[in-house]
Amino acid sequence: MIINFNGLKEMTIPGMNNGTGQMTVRMYNDEKYRIIPTVIHAGGSIGLHMQSSGDDMNYILSGTGKAICDGVEEKLSAGMMHICPKGSEHSIINTGDDDLIMLTIVVAR
């Protein structure tokens, strides 16, 4: 299977899950996968929410941030992956002056 993200519509989402600022995404969704190249712009965050569809894996391509999963805070930078297991609560916050760019993959289970 090949997914051409260049052919998917780019969307800007303000305050995702009651977070702050905005993020830009191109979303691929089907019954098994949600794959999302994501940019959390400076000052932005994805608000605290329950991860209900599957494990949420976020591979950081550039920028800096922090993830909070079930109350545990972890620093994020390029080359790191934050994994929030299904059934956990998490948030991702851009803590830098530049965009936090990541690839999010959720596999339904």
pLDDT at position 52 is 86
The full set of domains in the chain, from first to last, is: 9-108 (2.60.120.10)
Q: What is the mean pLDDT of each run of 10 residues along the chain (109 residues)?
A: 94 94 95 94 95 92 97 97 94 97 91
- Which pair of structure tokens corresponds to residue 27? 């979303």
pLDDT at position 109 is 73
pLDDT at position 53 is 85
- Give the predicted TM-score (pTM) of the model: 0.92
**Inter-residue long-range contacts of 80-84, CB under 8 Å, 24+ positions, other chains counted:** 81/57, 82/57, 82/58, 83/55, 83/56, 83/57, 83/58, 84/51, 84/55, 84/56, 84/58
pLDDT at position 95 is 97
* Contact residues for 18 (Cβ-Cβ < 8 A; gap 6+): 47, 48
